[in-house]
Amino acid sequence: MNIIFMGPPGAGKGTQAQTIVDEFQIPHISTGDAFRLAIKEGTPLGVEAQKYMDQGLLVPDEITIGIVRDRLQLADCQKGFLLDGFPRTISQAEALDGIVESMGKQITHVINLNVDRGLLLARLTGRRVCKSCGATYHVMFNPPAAENVCDKCSGPLIQRSDDTEEKVGTRLDEYTNKTAPLLNYYEAKGTLRQVNGEQDIDVVGKQICSILRGQA
């Protein structure tokens, strides 16, 4: 299974990815996570990416495509992969087609999580992530058992610097202008499946699993 998760920021891609990679034992490839790691490590890639991420803008295609190309070459992707947050532009999607073709594979599923813009704002401003393991929570919709402590590893929960109301507005505009047009791209290929991302986390997860198992 070679899967793409699409949907605006806050749609639940990362949350659902955790379930799917456990269930199907395939690597989770998140370009956002890759950039945040590079920033934490202070690499040249991190320094460059941060300029854009801090403003809520997409990182340029040349940089982003290179990361995914390198990651997909690693042996663990032979058994399948889940791309979360890539592609986000038409050029990225076209580049991905070339990369996947050169691997002798194809994208098998594109799952789009639909969530209304008003709800996305509430989801993103209330999002908290574990500083140690990256697990995702929400102060109201998916709180940890103990406030600001990760259920999985007891690490501290923090708010991402781009999850402020001001930056969320720019990020949602970037989505509408540059990423939403990709839905037509995958619709035309016949690989796109829509899932209502406003349902409970468990319900969304079950629907995605059914699609991936060919039962829906």
Q: Which residues are catalytic?
A: 13, 88, 127, 160, 171
Q: Which of residues 77-106 bind ligand ADP (CB under 6 A)?
A: 85-86, 88, 92
Query: Binder to Zn ion among 113, 135, 168, 195 (CB under 5 A)?
Result: 135
d(CA 75, CA 79) in angstroms, rounded, equals 8
CB-based contacts of 177: which residues, under 8 Å, 6+ apart? none
For ligand ADP, which stretch binds (CB under 6 A), given 4-12, 70-78, 98-106, 180-188?
Answer: 4-12
Phi, psi (rounded to 5 degrees) for 159: -100, 135
Closest-approach residue to ligand ADP (CB): 32
Q: Which residues contact 154 (CB under 8 A, 6 or more apart)?
A: none
Stretch that binds Zn ion, among 45-53, 70-78, 128-136, 141-149 (CB under 5 A): 128-136
Minimum CB distance to ligand ADP smaller for 26 or for 128: 128
Find where tokens 């990815």 sit. Answer: 17
DSSP per-residue codes, 125-179: HTEEEETTT--EEETTTB--SSTTB-TTT-PBEE--TT-SHHHHHHHHHHIIIII
Kindly identify the residues of this chain, within the stretch 144-173, that bind Zn ion according to CB under 5 A. 150, 152-153, 155
- Give the binding range for ligand ADP (CB under 6 A) out of 11-19, 20-28, 70-78, 96-104: 11-19
Does 172 contact ligand ADP by CB under 6 A?
Answer: no
**Max Cα-Cα span within the chain:** 47
Q: In the range 45-84, which residues lie near ligand ADP by CB under 6 A?
A: 52-53, 56-59, 64
Binding characters for ligand ADP, 105-144, by CB under 6 A (x = yes)? ------------------x--xx--------xxx--xx--
Asked if residue 59 lies in contact with residue 53, where contact means CB atoms within 8 angstroms, the answer is yes
Beta strand spans in the chain (E): 2-6, 28-30, 81-84, 109-114, 127-130, 136-138, 157-158, 192-196
Query: Contact, 120 vs 13, CB < 8 A?
Result: no
Per CB under 6 A, residues contacting ligand ADP are: 7, 9-15, 31-32, 35, 52-53, 56-59, 64, 85-86, 88, 92, 123, 126-127, 136-138, 141-142, 162, 171, 200-201, 204
